[in-house]
Structure 1
Amino acid sequence: MSIAAVVLLGISVLVAVNRPRPQERPNIVVVMTDDQTVEQMQALPAVADLAREGAVSGTNLAAYPLCCPSRATYLTGQYPHNHGVQGNHEPVGGYYRLDGSRTLPVWLRDAGYHTAHIGKYLNEYGTRQPTEVPPGWTEWYGAVDPSTYRYFDYRLNENGRTVHYGNRPEEYQSDVYTRKAVDFVHRRGTSEQPFFLSLAYLAPHSGFPSRGRCADSAHPAPRHAGDFRDAVLPRPPSFDEPDVSDKPQSVAGLPRLGPEAVERITRDYQCRRESLLAVDEGVRELVGALRETGELDRTLIVFTSDNGFFQGEHRVPKSKFKPYESSVRVPLVLRGPGVPPGTRIEGLTANVDLAPTLLDAAGAEPGHVVDGRSLLPVLAGRERLDHRAVLLENGPDDGRRNPQYDAVRTDRYVYVEYATGERELYDLRLDPHQLRSAHADPAHAPVRDALAGALAALRDCSGASCRVDAAVP
């Protein structure tokens, strides 16, 4: 081949990699962690870089702070009382409870997107048919239950074929997911067809194997084991709360945390942070692949988690479910087209907004009425989220330990009604750590009544009736 031919070939490759697409629709990448708190963002410097280059929500909420209902909300843009997934397991929840034909990947593929999912999906996925590929996914690399919760020795359904991964260091689950995501971007990055990539890490959720320092906790990659061994456990005023007499019996009956419990919580906190280091490396590699293919500035990247997690707040040693800030608040970072750099989204956002936002960016239509709202007009300064009311729910599957509740969260208050008849009300401006419920305080009666009215309207809302402001005195 002549020198001129080599030069022309090199130029043609560069043009192929960097040419603009004929359409203006962006690629979409959603990275989701599992059980991650907002505080643990400190372990994710690559995600912090995304936030500086894009937008971060000041207060982002999981409408139902539990894995499967939250992920179903992400996929549908609906509150759990509308999409029907009310728990992690049958008969009220799990993968088979959701109508997969009416979800985000279906709508995006119908709009011309190449879609791919890598990692955890919905609880109980694969328990009936391990090789099933859910509707809407062009490419599928889904973790098969129950091995979803194994950082080593797990199975993936790879486009209809079950593949086992073992115990070698390179088979660490997060790293495998990252390699598949980077490979996907390199394969699809030069295509004129936009893509949607859903990348769902298990970290920092607890998993197996149940041995060693991080037994019954998240397992870091071997190269990161011990990196946060000296990390100090946060102890906000709500940690091991001295007086929980104002709380419902499910909390008021919890014992104080003794030294052994605090030691376990501390170790869990450290192991969870260590497990996030591989996720952060994955985000950095993924961004690098997008940059190498010329797709970074044409890609809307979203980073979030399905729910938060307790680390000793209100005497809860570990878990989620409950309507407290530790559980319902989750990170949300956006970077890409339509996202002004260095933006902080004021007001409340929620996971019910994810699907509407992504559909808006893609110019796609949902197959049913969505309850959330697109955040793109907010980012563009055309809309505000002042005084927004967000519904919080907990389903009927958890019995006496976590009684069913409905709650309304505004920019200042959270008001909770339990199926047991118990109530809670917190003024988060005056009591951000939720130490003293004001539900029985006569001075807060007007606020309580206004919030009860807003909750009554939201409890069975659908579509536009879910997108309301709360008029609170």
Structure 2
Amino acid sequence: MTGRKNILFLMTDQHRVDTLGAYGGVRPTPVLDELARSGTRFDRWYTPTAICTPARASLLTGQAPFRHKLLANHERNVGYIEDLPDGQFAFSTALRQAGYNCGLIGKWHVGTQKSARDFGFDGPDFPGWHNAVDHPDYLAYLAGHDLPPYEISDRIRGVLPNGGPGNLLAARLHQPVEATFEYYLATRTIELLERYAEAARERDEPFFLALHFFGPHLPYILPDEFFDLVDPADVELPRSIAETFQGKPPVQRNYSAHWTFDTMPIETTRKLIAVYHGYVALIDRQIGRVMDAMARLGLADDTAVFFTCDHGEFTGAHRLHDKGPAMYEDIYRTPGLLRVPGEPGGVVRSEFVSLLDCTATILDLAGLEPKLAVDSRSLLPLVGGAEVPWEEDIVCEFHGHHFPYPQRMLRTDRYKLVVNPDSVNELYDLRLDPDELLNVYEHPEMAPVRKRMMHRLYQLLRERGDNFYHWMTSMYDVGATDYDPTLSGLDEATYQSPAP
């Protein structure tokens, strides 16, 4: 093998960080826990935005959502673009040009007209956001292994505000584990891994291979073994289930009604959380099959392994499900694991890092220029245990889901500021209130913190070129203005005449 690393990229969808044993979860996830033990665990790993398509586009491009401008899921698009433009930088294109084989098995969800193949990935095309149980290749897999078709019962859903049936949240799957879409995805990944291993061995061709599960995104549809794996009586409810929405943006209460939380008994909520943990266990087992195949093929010493997700999931926290216009830790802080051959294991880092940083890291592992991913930074120095200068805060953004709803967030060691132009802003003291129940933005004693964080967020948005800062210029105390906020070019105070 050359000095360039093979890369296995394992990704889930809508995955809570506290479901991993390595992050203090009460139920072990043995395969992922072993990856953390043998690699690096990042404890402050955030998504740039808690919505599938924009987050995945950021991973592909190394650009923040405001820059790549693919800002909403197709299924709930509210007028934004639906595909990345021609000529858009993508790490996969750079890897292909450098001689890498590139494959992606599973969820794509980066636009509608352009598929993963358009960006250089091998593998079947799975459009949409959920398990493609009617996909011809999956149906052929079932038929070829004499497995029964998809069938569900025991549906769990609440009642919508208009009296209609609520969104499907979970159901029992009448198939064996070997017939699940998760098992199928792992099988197809192993098959492609075997092909890439041969190319690496015989032609010295490195590979990037991604396995993107559609779960544990709701609805949680599982066979008996995992649907009943966790006893609901053993489920500890999240403390933020005590949410009152007092002093919070009203949109959060509306979202709670949309996800029908209050129309279901608390016992149903416990069952939902129990099934969610079962879903995580199913995925952990399938990742184990892929890791075993990698060891069998002799690839472990040459292959870097990532595990992360696009964003988190509420699962009842703050009386919410799914994700949406609320920038709580439940959906913005996510798991992030990375094992690089030759680097120490059991490393834990507390720096603020992002899903965005995977892009530069992938390029770095391939011996390419990480700066091609303009909003990304390679994590390899942190994996190596180096003490390097790093940002002491992180910015996240949101642009809407179901309807336009712009938000920006600044997270520091202790505090979180959320700017909501249409509503009340939010400030949380995460040391005293880790569940983010009390919005202290208007509390008089928080004025110095509020001012400091507003200044810092404004500065960072201006440096990045995120025009959200224009709203902040006129609405908040952000310091002296050094430009004409009307953008007219006619303000004598800021306009500089050209030299004669």
Structure 2 residue identity aligned to 1:103: A
Secondary structure of the 2:8 match is strand
**Runs of 5+ in structure 1 lacking a partner?**
1-20, 207-216, 464-473
Change in CA separation of 1:342 and 1:132 when aligned onto 2, cut-off 3 Å: closer
Residue 233, structure 1, aligned to residue 235, structure 2: yes
- For the pair 1:120 / 2:107, whether they are aligned, the reply is yes
CA 1:124/1:375 → structure 2, altered by over 3 Å: closer, same or farther? closer
* Separation of aligned partners in 2, 1:99 and 1:344: 39
Which stretches in structure 2 are left out of the alignment for 5+ residues? 21-26, 143-148, 151-174, 466-500
The CA distance in 1 between the partners of 2:64 and 2:370, in whole Å, is 15
Alignment of 1:105-254 (within 5 A): 105-122=92-109, 125=112, 128=113, 133-137=117-121, 139-145=122-128, 148-150=129-131, 152-155=133-136, 166-167=149-150, 169=176, 170-190=178-198, 191=200, 192-206=204-218, 217-221=219-223, 223-230=225-232, 232-241=234-243, 243-251=244-252
Q: C-alpha distance in 2, partners of 1:55/1:323?
A: 26
Give 1:294 deviation, angstroms. Answer: 1.4
Amino acid at match of 1:172: T
User: Structure 1 residue 24 and structure 2 residue 3: aligned?
Assistant: yes
Residues 104-125 of structure 1: CA distance to partner in whole angstroms, max 9, x if unpaired? 2111111221100000001554
In structure 2, C-alpha distance between the alignment counterparts of 1:124 and 1:98, rounded to whole Å: 10
SS at match of 1:189: helix
State how 1:329-340 maps to structure 2 within 5 Å: 329-337=333-341, 339-340=343-344
> Judging changes above 3 Å, is the alpha-carbon distance between structure 1 residues 99 and 320 closer, same or farther for their aligned structure 2 residues?
farther
Measure how far apart 1:278 and its partner are: 2.9
Deviation, structure 1 residue 227: 1.6
Count of residue pairs brought into register by the alignment: 420
CA RMSD of aligned residues (A): 2.9
Residues 311/182 of structure 1: CA separation in 2 closer, same or farther (3 Å cut): same
User: Match of 2:399?
Assistant: 395
Give, as a single letter, the amino acid of the residue that structure 1 aligns with 2:94: W
Per-residue CA distance 1:284-316 (angstroms, 9 max, x = gap): 111111111211121110011111111222222
SS across alignment from 2:125: strand
By how many angstroms is 1:173 displaced?
1.0
SS of equivalent residue, structure 2 residue 319: coil
Report the Cα distance in structure 1 between the residues aligned to 2:12 and 2:362, rounded to whole angstroms.
18
Q: Which amino acid aligns with 1:345?
A: R
Q: What letter corresponds to residue 124 of structure 2 in structure 1?
A: Y
| TM-score normalized with structure 1 length | 0.81
| SS of the residue 1:186 aligns to | helix
User: Structure 1 residues 352, 113: CA separation in 2 closer, same or farther (over 3 Å shift)?
Assistant: same
Output the amino acid matched with 2:213. Y
Partner of 1:453: 455
After TM superposition, the score normalised by the length of structure 2 is 0.77
Distance in 1 between residues matched to 2:325 and 2:339, nearest whole Å: 29
- Aligned partner letter, 1:356: A
**Which residue of structure 1 lines up, in the alignment, with residue 425 of structure 2?**
423
Match of 1:370 among 370, 374, 381: 374
* Aligned residue identity for 2:181: Q
Compared CA separation, residues 79 and 132, structure 1 to 2 (3 A): closer
Kept in 1, the 8 Å contact 2:360–2:371? The answer is no
Please tell me the residue identity of whatever aligns with 1:140: G
1:266 aligns with 2:266: no
User: What is the rounded CA distance, in whole Å, between the counterparts of 2:417 and 2:359 in structure 1?
Assistant: 26
Shift of 1:230: 3.5
Q: 1:75 aligns with which of 24, 48, 60?
A: 60
Separation of aligned partners in 1, 2:227 and 2:238? 26
